[in-house]
Chain A
Amino acid sequence: MLSRVADSIYWLNRYVERAENVARFVEVNLNLLLDSPSGMAQQWEPIIWTTGDLSLFRERHGEGAAEKVVRFLSFDTAYPNSIVSCLRSARENARSIREVISSEMWEQVNSFYLMVSEVAESGSLSDLSAVLKFFGDVKLQSHLFAGVMDATMTHNEGWHFGQIGRLIERADKTARILDVKYYILLPSVNYVGSTLDELQWMALLKSASAYEMYRKQGAHRITPNAVADFLILDTEFPRSVRSCILQAERSLHQITGTPIGNWRIPVERTMGRLRADLDYVTIEEIFETGLHEYLDGLQSRMNEVDSKIFETFFALQPVA
């Protein structure tokens, strides 16, 4: 498979997944605000902290207020990680590999893009229920894309590159969603363990579509340890970091043909080491390190996997 094509299908999936997760971020915060006691300052900037793009936001929009943040993250065409920009990039990538992906995939990403840009142009954010519906639609369209790809494209090398792209993006974003809680301030230390605290953790689970699955897996009570354990280390929940990395590693080895547990090339080693760490770390150890610090470390290691994939498969240079 052409390196450029593999790169495009990888990013096509990353961008679709990224758009979905931006929708999740914003949605969780909107839900939190609805539950917060009135008079409490609206906390929008934490969301932008977690995207890592706070300085760009300040430059373009000044102080964070609800509508500005929602607009920035959803419809700002000058912000490369906004939902509308992600979809444009996803579509550009899809367009350059139309002869490789199935036509159903192309049609889905195309109509997804048209839907988002239509809303972006009509752009009224005053109606909260319409805004919430929009984020729901974004998630649904993203799931549709993943489903269409799974059901209509041969599960060949290209498909596996797409999977890796989607799973790395998802793992990264689950880690960031969990990190939102670090940034959101409770009114005072007395609120730790209060109803408000619990509501925040619940909203967080919901934004990862994890609330029901969390309740079902046995540890019914909502505690910070158990929530973090579920979102980072669960092996079966498809949005947990560990589960994503497990599957991404499988796809990587499908591509290279190396048996899992061995490595021949550096990218297999980087990915395998990350997966093994997730296999053996405990939630107690994570909290000892500090949840925020641990999540930060996870994100850097996933970035490392991403750059190794780029070097190994996409940036091939002939021997001079």
Chain B
Amino acid sequence: MNFNDYDPGDFYDELFVAPGQPRPDAIPLIERMTSLGIEEVLRRQQAAQVALFKLGVTFNVYSDNQGTERILPFDIIPRIVSAADWEVLERGLKQRIHALNLFLSDIYSDQKILADGIIPAEIVFSASGFLKPCMGLQPPGGIWCHITGTDLVRDRSGRWYVLEDNLRCPSGVSYVLENRRVMKSTFPLVFDTMQIQPVEEYPSQLLETLLNLAPAHLTDPTVVVLTPGIYNSAYFEHSFLAQQMGVQLVEGRDLVVADGFLQMRTTKGLQRVDVIYRRIDDDFIDPTVFRADSTLGVPGLMEVYRAGRVAIANALGTGVADDKVIYSYVPDMIRYYLGEDAILANVPTYLCWESSQQSHVLENLDQLVVKSAGESGGYGMLVGPHATQAERDEFAAKIKAFPRNYIAQPTLCLSRVPAFIDNNFEGCHVDLRPYILYGKQIFVNPGGLTRVALRRGSLVVNSSQGGGSKDTWVVCQ
């Protein structure tokens, strides 16, 4: 088999324009793979998987028995993003995060955007991510969303869209770093010929972002990563990031509020904590304020946080902007706060709580993707064209019962990148999740996690639903 026999078909393919015709940026890669031959490339694919397994780059699946770890399937054919595309994405993401942050500040203080009628107030107040206890919070520097992992997709024409913002605890950045490490040993010569932007700066940038939140008078602030523990699906990443930044990885049971500060239990007594990078959801962070049954958080933390004696990244309450109904207003926010047009488009979204849109949704369920407004990770959704009539009926009933909870979007024909399925070179649908840090400035890590649907024809790329990952190469200008 020859790579040039690969047929991109009737899709936007990230590496090929037509059979035998790679995109200009992909030429060095395809030439190198052709010279290695398919067997050698497959051998390298296996070596890369083994390397990731040995590194212990694993995730847990919620539905499995406790302690079951898997590696995220990794495909060694990278996804390539041209310099011109990246320039637009970077500007667009910065603009979007800037506006979303202004929205969060506003919504937990003056709520001008509601008073001015840009977003219906009841939509915000009914969002599960809207947290009343956060009203009046003033996080350091006015920054709420320090770490974002925005999901981007491309349609059949190659146009980019923002699919989700993920302002809570986006995961996956450890794969970006580990995939790159493995890829450099897999295709060293290609890295040599192509100018690919490095991604390795991320841990240092993340540490800077976190240090930026500590009070200025502290010379040596204590930063920690807060994890739910080893059974969490992203535990490897929590541990990895703590290690890369050289900070403590703590669990809720390591922390205690004493003398008005957040402290951690050490062998030498209690030690003050100044900044938390938390990988625990808002609901679980303080049982005295939010879910009382949470054993993952720290009783009393919210009070210390309100008093400005500890900084939390991301701030509590950012989940309100992840609500998929509120997502549909992001272009309006950009216009409202920044006076600009959105550089990156939203996926067209039908809001089921508006009756005219709802009837359109119900009539076209077989062509739409329905998502529940408060969920993420590929849970609670219906892919209309691939669903059975019974499943569609079930969703129709849910939509009618709780219209506020549902939105619908056209089924996008996601762009594809060739990947190995059963040792064959086939086109697979992908998305892209770049990671954005909001510290002194907004930093977009050049690259990101390309998630790939490794089931033939599947459009769902989530790791919990059989997806894998690829390295993402952003070409230098």
Contact = CB atoms under 8 A, between A and B. Distances in A.
B250 interface: yes
B56 A98 contact: yes
Interface stretch (A2-10, A46-54, A117-125, A200-208): A2-10
A107 B254 contact: no
Contacts of A5: 248
B263 interface: yes
B265 A2 contact: yes
A95 interface: yes
Interface in A1-54: 1-6
A210 B56 CA distance: 37
**Taking chain A's interface residues, is the majority helix, strand, or loop, or is none over half, making it mixed?**
helix
Given A2-B248, A110-B56, A318-B258, A99 B239 contact: yes
A197 interface: no
Interface in A150-171: 157, 161
A99 B265 contact: no
Contacts of A314: 267
Contact of A3 (B67, B243, B266): B266
B230 A95 contact: yes
A2 B264 contact: yes
A107 B57 CA distance: 12
A3 B54 contact: no
Interface SS, B side: mixed
The residue in A99, A161, A316, A319 that gathers the most chain B C-beta atoms within 10 A of its C-beta is A99
Contacts of B206: none
Nearest to B244: A99
Interface residues of B, number: 27
B253 interface: yes
Contacts of B339: none
Nearest to A99: B243
Contact of A4 (B54, B239, B251, B263): B251
Contact of B242 (A99, A107, A161): A99
Interface string B38-71: 0000000000000000111000000000010000
Nearest to A88: B67
A1 B266 contact: yes
Tell me which of A100, A103, A316 has the highest count of chain B C-beta atoms within 10 A of its own C-beta: A316
A255 interface: yes
B448 to A, nearest CB: 24
A6 B230 contact: no
A96 interface: yes
A294 interface: no
Contacts of B235: 95
Contacts of B275: none
A237 interface: no
B239 A316 contact: no
A110 B57 CA distance: 13
13 contacts: A1-B268, A2-B250, A2-B266, A4-B251, A92-B230, A99-B240, A100-B249, A314-B267, A316-B270, A318-B256, A318-B265, A318-B270, A319-B258
3 pairs of A and B residues whose beta carbons are closest in the complex: A99-B243, A313-B267, A318-B258
Given A2-B250, A313-B267, 19 more contacts: A2-B248, A2-B254, A2-B265, A3-B254, A6-B267, A92-B230, A98-B239, A99-B239, A99-B242, A100-B249, A103-B55, A107-B54, A107-B56, A157-B267, A255-B267, A314-B267, A316-B265, A316-B267, A319-B258
